[in-house]
Structure 1
Amino acid sequence: MSNNDRKNKGEMSSRNVDENSKNKQLEEFREDPTDQFLTTDQGVRVNHVDDSLKAGSRGPTLMEDFLFRERMTHLDHESIPERVVHARGSGAHGFFQPYDDSMKEFTKAKFLTTPDVKTPVFVRFSTVVGSRGSADTVRDVRGFATKFYTEEGNYDLVGNNIPVFFIHDSIKFPDLVHAIKPMPDNEMPQASAAHDTFWDFASLMPETTHMLLWVLSDRAIPRSFRMMEGFGVHTFRFINAAGKATFVKFHWRPLLGTHSLVWDEAQKLNGKDPDWLRRDLWEAIDMGDHVEFELAVQLVPEEDELKYNFDLLDSTKIIPEELVPLRPIGKMTLNRNPDNFFAETEQVAFHPGNLVPGIDVTNDPLLQGRLFSYVDTQLNRFNSANFAEIPINRPVVPVHNQQGAGFMRQTINKGKVNYWPNSLGEGNPKLATEEEGAFVHHQEKVEGHKIRARSESFKDHFSQATLFWNSITEPEKKHLVEAIHFELGKVETIAIRERMVANFYKVSPELAQRAAEGLGIEVRQDIEVESTGNYESDKAAGKISKGKSVKESPAVSMEIGKKETAKTRKVAILLEDGFNYDEVMAVKQALQNEGAQAKIVSKVFKKLKSTSGEEIEVDKSHVTTGSIMFDAVYVPGGMASVEAMKKQGEALHFLNEAFKHCKTIGASREGVDLINATSLTGVHVAEEATADIVSEKGVVTARAAASIEDFATSFVAAIKKHRHWEREEKAMVPA
């Protein structure tokens, strides 16, 4: 079935039972303040909140001022502890719909097998290391957590934008978090791994190597949450109606493709707009550019568990798509922003153990630990076991339990019975059978001695890191090496740098040499770091060592097979008074036809007048924006406009910086003269005498004789390439 066929099948659905069920439930808790009187918490109307109750206008505040005490008490108690990790997040509502019922062969989960049902979802994207007040565009893993409000109860798919993790076993998670968080003596640096303690830990833990290469790649600085893949990380199980299990890996694939920032761009955005990613998500949904992800799975029959040269239970490994192709099974659409950040995005509570019939966990030791830690951290944050009763966490199906007490209890349980079995309540609420929809754990025979050890099949720490390095393009390798130079360049202890480069040598001698050149050290092959785990030989390890493998996996590269689209891309049009109105309108229309957004950028906010007298509003000033906030730049003709911008350092810097970051630049007629006034090197532009449109390394130019419509077509085609990395080879631009 083609992508279009799947899409059409989903859109032609006749049943819409669940799509609005969560919205309707939340309506009970929403309040519209329009035409309402301000009241106390008890509903008493208030007529004055600017002054406390005092003994005389200059006297002391009186204890009897219950209004002051109520308002201040609320403020003092409004915060809850932030998450230990994933503290800074952004959320959105939407729905998920399967393409067809083909997954019935593998799982009895109804929300994955019933194509005429739209299951409501809430998704929270997040950074991992930083605090709630940190910036969005730091180099970090991004969380991608989805809560499905299904007909059978809530299911949480709690993942990241990177398909592997640093460690094998959750018992090392406290060490990892302590090492990567700001150093305990001075609480620096914030939201960054670029310090001695993290790289000391990483260099002594070879199992982190594969994940480190993903984090050092451009995957860790996404262009947008809307252009970011998501992964379930762990291997889970599907269980079908007959009780047969199949191993499954979950993948979220953005329909806009996977794209990143460049490091210089990310650092500048931290200062210009530290809310860049959350603002981008909010504004896209607000404008009607709904965010779409395709859910795909990799399926491995239970009998093939030991078929590959890696352990399916090892979260530091991927299943290369060349060995197990992805099967698209449905689409998620995010179409509504939260009404209240705290009540929804901040209070949503995820747990990988929130499962529904048809999905179960495996013996992955990292996943097993998360089944404990997620509940435990929510208990700390909410100071109550009743956090599932908060509106954003509440299932759309009825909840019947015997837990009638505790902080924040919302349900008023009737009757005398809060235990089971019982006769006084006639056995209610009763137990369900598997046929009646009860969750039943997959029956797996498990035997072994109690031992603090892991299988030898987990001991290969470098082969998939090598696979990653071999699979990415040269521009991606260049950026990864530059990230090493930045991260390890911040490490003051030379021995840690040397140890880390020695680990990189086991991945690739080329990688190690390129890393060492920027760190002022020699590649030392004599440094041997022992694995810290206690590995025990077993039969599984012997079989896995002879299993299937690949040397490369192009699917891990963002550049190979990238989607060429201009949809939702942001284009800056640089203008001053005296611009060519027809050119601006023609290019804006061409961009709009492709789903791109054009913004007018000028020195100051005002109405600009064209050569023919039309006026246009300025959207952004040079003070409030920069090229880093756009995907492309266009300079239209108009002698007066161009001459004014030639005298503006901000306009020239705008173009220089966009060129440095390999973005598409377009100019028509006199606009080409502004490009000639910049420091752009290594590209040819249209000459006065030519009628041709010149497009070279993402710089598209046309002089007076060229058609503006043809120019716009070439300009949009260049935008669809996203970046023009060939500029990085020789470009020397002061920006």
Structure 2
Amino acid sequence: MNHVNDPSEDSNVLTNRQGHPVTNNQNIRTVGNRGPATLENYDFIEKISHFDRERIPERVVHARGAGAHGYFEAYGSVGSEPVSKYTRAKLFQEKGKQTPVFVRFSSVIHGGHSPETLRDPRGFAVKFYTEDGNWDLVGNNLKIFFIRDAIKFPDMIHAFKPDPVTNIQDAERFFDFCASSPESFHMVTFVYSPWGIPANYRMMQGSGVNTYKWVNNEGEAVLVKYHWEPKQGIRNLTQKEASEIQASNFNHGTQDLYQAIERNDYPEWELLVQIMSDDAHPELDFDPLDDTKLWPEEQFPWLPVGKMILNKNPVNYFAEVEQAAFGTGVLVDGLDFSDDKMLQGRTFSYSDTQRHRVGANYLQLPINAPKKRVATNQSAGQMEYYVDRSPSHNPHINYEPSLLGGLVEAEQAGKEYTPLIEGRLVRESIDRSNNTKQAGETYRQFKDWERDELILNLVGDLSRCDGRIQERMIALASEADEQYGRRLREGLEAAPQGGSSQIPLGNKDGDQAPDKAVKISHEADPY
């Protein structure tokens, strides 16, 4: 008997796909409220697994992309110290050592043929083909994210994607989610400022966003954050500039990257890291594992470890850019996960969605295959076209251990990092949420024209939203900074409700944005 949508059971209580009531849709289950997560997170795994399969075959997120090949060159040091003090990862150890890379830039929410001028975070994913196998550093241009718990990711993307009835993206849906998820306010502040529309891929920053770990030969670990700084300088667009570009060219970012490499104007980024001891840092007013937060540069300086140069365009877009597959779990020896709840959720989701989107053997495609020998006991599956074996491998033995010539385990390169994990399994948010403080600091660090643009853009979209959503967003802005909240309220009061805002904001720096195609020093940027 078909029991779907039985009117006698009509209810607005959230359930999973088995019909079980969901009592906590905000937090995955972790050891203590900082993590790590556990594999038995059934509701989360079922939710994210379904989400990974919602679009066929286009990526659910990061559908619009551009890519290029190049290399990473290590400095052999972290600032003034040898890199071996912090990590044994081989690609960093030797000054001048070059590692091939492939980079895919992307927009996050919009479809594969959407304009590259839309307000949206940008993906910045780097695949390092190291001697120890592949390392994927998968991040965005902005250094923080909207949410801090992976179980909320499908809901966030649903809210940002088109309405399931009208198939039209709706600012009210976006702000409804953000107003109800106060940890998102810092990211909203960035996305609605000019930093929400990078001028092109070559002149935008990159970040790993999540917190990772480095492990040295002694099995000692530190927390680490990654930052890519463009040598071309940083440039963002106002909404007016973006609209003017979009009127004549919706591929401008891809075109700019391709043409720059064709004319041998190779884009370059420096990789910098922030390092922190691996503990809870109770002296901070935020949790260092919280991906909605920046680590203060004055306390945790940016330390250069290498540079990346992109010098070759793809030969075939589909084979190289579209089928490129990345995963946050793709790490090499000397690099490790932190207990960051978003990172742990992403680590399952990314590889899972690639198996769905590209196929079980997506790692056999040339763009995804490591440059070193691969030998596994895995075989068959969709689109297999060779078997991973070494010449000495007995082809009859596809298991381990074996006395008959099968594959054997590798030796451990250094002492294994074995952190002590202790705590009750709970579904709770972290203790130090502090949702709006850094948003206020970011607002105050913006230039006058950036603050004007932020208010103009927020008012333009919020004026079309329900009054309850407007009040919640004003409250968050006021909590972040008194002027921020006051200007947002005044703008909404002056704006025609249900339409776009045309209120004058008085750009104190003149009509032209001051960062036009010039290099902005690291000290001057708002991060």
TM-score (norm 1): 0.58
Distance 1:150 1:227, change over 3 A: same
283, 303, 306: which one aligns with 1:327:
303
Structure 1 residue runs of 4+, over 3 Å off?
Answer: 303-307, 659-664, 718-722
Q: What does the per-residue CA deviation read over 1:111-144, in whole Å, with 9 as the maximum and x for residues that have no partner?
A: 1122232100000000001000111010110000
Q: 1:145 and 2:118 equivalent?
A: no
Match of 1:418 in 2: 398
Q: 1:495 and 2:474 equivalent?
A: no
Cα distance, 1:424 vs structure 2:
2.3
Q: 1:177 and 2:157 equivalent?
A: yes
CA contact (8 A) 2:88 2:216 kept: yes
1:708-723 aligned at under 5 Å gives the runs: 720=518
Cα distance, 1:518 vs structure 2:
2.2
Q: What does the per-residue CA deviation read over 1:56-104, in whole Å, with 9 as the maximum and x for residues that have no partner?
A: xxxxxxxxxxxxxxxxxxxxxxx96111110000000000001224211
1:18-167 aligned at under 5 Å gives the runs: 81-101=57-77, 102-167=82-147
235, 239, 248: which one aligns with 2:211:
235
Aligned-pair identity (%)? 41
Q: 1:519 and 2:492 equivalent?
A: yes
Distance 1:207 1:81, change over 3 A: same
CA contact (8 A) 2:269 2:308 kept: yes
Q: What does the per-residue CA deviation read over 1:604-643, in whole Å, with 9 as the maximum and x for residues that have no partner?
A: xxxxxxxxxxxxxxxxxxxxxxxxxxxxxxxxxxxxxxxx
CA contact (8 A) 1:128 1:142 kept: yes
183, 189, 193: which one aligns with 1:207:
183
Amino acid at match of 2:176: D
Distance 1:187 1:661, change over 3 A: farther
CA distance in 1, matches of 2:138, 2:370: 17
Report SS of the residue matched to 2:343.
Answer: helix
Distance 1:721 1:83, change over 3 A: closer
CA distance in 1, matches of 2:345, 2:372: 28
Cα distance, 1:197 vs structure 2:
0.9
Report SS of the residue matched to 2:284.
Answer: coil
Match of 2:420 in 1: 445
CA distance in 1, matches of 2:247, 2:355: 35
CA contact (8 A) 2:103 2:125 kept: yes
Kindly name which structure, 1 or 2, has the bigger radius of gyration based on alpha carbons: 1
CA contact (8 A) 1:498 1:521 kept: no
CA distance in 1, matches of 2:434, 2:71: 40
Report SS of the residue matched to 2:377.
Answer: coil
Match of 2:435 in 1: 461
Q: What does the per-residue CA deviation read over 1:128-163, in whole Å, with 9 as the maximum and x for residues that have no partner?
A: 010001110101100000000000000000000111
Report SS of the residue matched to 2:227.
Answer: strand
Match of 1:392 in 2: 367
Cα distance, 1:663 vs structure 2:
8.2
Report SS of the residue matched to 1:332.
Answer: strand
CA distance in 1, matches of 2:171, 2:247: 21
Cα distance, 1:416 vs structure 2:
0.7
1:694-733 aligned at under 5 Å gives the runs: 720=518
TM-score (norm 2): 0.81
Match of 1:483 in 2: 457
Size of the aligned set, in residue pairs, is: 444
Distance 1:463 1:288, change over 3 A: same
Q: What does the per-residue CA deviation read over 1:390-422, in whole Å, with 9 as the maximum and x for residues that have no partner?
A: 110000010000112111213235721111111
Report SS of the residue matched to 1:283.
Answer: helix
Amino acid at match of 1:470: R
CA distance in 1, matches of 2:355, 2:385: 16
Amino acid at match of 2:380: A
More helix per residue? 1
Distance 1:379 1:720, change over 3 A: closer
CA distance in 1, matches of 2:319, 2:263: 23
Give structure 1 stretches of 5+ with no counterpart: 1-78, 523-658, 665-717, 723-735
CA contact (8 A) 1:160 1:230 kept: yes
Amino acid at match of 1:138: L
Give structure 2 stretches of 5+ with no counterpart: 1-54, 496-509, 521-527
CA distance in 2, matches of 1:473, 1:441: 47
Cα distance, 1:309 vs structure 2:
2.0
Amino acid at match of 1:424: L
Cα distance, 1:492 vs structure 2:
3.6
Note the aligned Cα RMSD (angstroms).
2.2
CA contact (8 A) 2:233 2:519 kept: no
CA contact (8 A) 1:265 1:661 kept: no
Distance 1:200 1:441, change over 3 A: farther
CA contact (8 A) 2:108 2:120 kept: yes
CA distance in 1, matches of 2:188, 2:63: 21
Cα distance, 1:262 vs structure 2:
1.6
Greater Cα offset, 414-423 or 149-158: 414-423
